[in-house]
Amino acid sequence: MKEKVILAYSGGLDTTAIIPWLKENYDYDVVCVCADVGQGNEIDGLEERAKLSGAEKLYIEDLTDEFVNDYVIPCVQADAVYENKYLLGTSMARPVIAKRLVEIARKEGAVAICHGATGKGNDQVRFELTIKALAPDLEIIAPWRCNETWKMQSREDEIEYCKQHGIDLPFSADSSYSRDRNLWHISHEGLELEDPANEPNYEHLLVLGTTPEKAPEEGEYITLSFEKGKPVALNGEKMKASDIIRKLNELGGKHGIGIVDIVENRVVGMKSRGVYETPGGTILLEAHKQLEELIHDKDTMAFKKTIDAKFADVVYEGKWFTPLREALQAFVESTQEYVTGEVKMKLYKGNIIKAGTTSPYSLYNESIASFTTGDLYDHHDAEGFINLFGLSLKVRAMKMAEIEKNQK
């Protein structure tokens, strides 16, 4: 009996070509695993394609709710955004996928896991750090780094290789964007985006929504409800988090929300340019931030921003299964105890406009904050506070005046 390798399989040209390449160069039985993290109809017809390509077996694993509940929601609670723009769509999905690859490797008694990530990208890091953390004994095969045996450098090369091995599938050599899609987002790289001087061809590019210019002339109000930092209802209707994101994707896409053009710093050191569509995630994160600003005290809010930024870096770098991520998440979760309430917003031509936030734990006190004098605030108290708060400034100014006088 041959040894087995687990292949992270999408059904695209790259992973299809990898199947005969693995059999030819390693003499392994290939077990394909396709993780469904909400990419829609991309998984249609994969079983037949995998078998035609020489795979012994195909697992199609529905990980959507696990992805949302265990990975997306902690990132929402952490307001995790990489370099102030990227909402971590691909970054969050890779650890849950790699975790399932390891689980199936154990079930199948496999000796290796193979992925199709290139040697220039972040995904190789994210897949492999997870595998090393959960199964350090398993071999990792990355064909794009196997210069001696992986000779294919283009889609044409891969199509020809497949044909040579009796695999004649309807793949096209036409150039297109490199995309990654899941329930949270879709990313676009390549073509005109490779030059930061070029404006994105949004007519050709967008999948989940439209540009703000083409969004409806009428805005739309929505209300999101949270319990302990987790979304639990949309417009008063209770639903699970994954369904909330699905509905928000429709609403956000309709109103041109969540389109980001970014040049980011990859883990491997280079800069890359991409366009991300994250309509539902953008709305959800903004609602969560609006609720937090009503509830957190000043010191917690300021320190949490530092933790949130570090959490985003850790997730982006593929370090999900690390003590640091666990510790950061423990802090974040402790801050979410009272992040409960409702956030009303207006969606209009790419904008998310505040329309009212309420919470039973709000620290906003109208008696203190209003211009009229309330019972809890005496204007005269401010004088003593300012004298003490500015004492160091006054002492320094006095000393500098003394020095200047003595120098005359």
Q: Which residues are catalytic?
A: 14, 94, 123, 178
Strand locations in 9-47 (E): 29-36
User: d(Cα 56, Cα 262) in Å, to the nearest integer?
Assistant: 40
| Integer Cα distance of 90 and 126 in angstroms | 10
Residue 63 to residue 273: CA distance in whole angstroms: 28
Q: 247, 271 in Cβ contact below 8 A?
A: no
Both tokens of residue 148? 């001696």
Cα–Cα distance, 319 to 129 (Å, whole number): 7
- What is the sign, positive or negative, of the torsion defined by CA atoms of 94, 70, 274, 159? positive
Contact 44, 70 (CB under 8 A): no
Q: How far apart are CA 353 and CA 347, in angstroms?
A: 6
The one-letter amino acid at 122:
N
**Euclidean distance between CA atoms 259 and 279, whole angstroms:** 7
Among residues 314, 312, 333, the alpha carbon closest in space to that of 322 is found at 314
What token pair was written down for 392? 């160091």
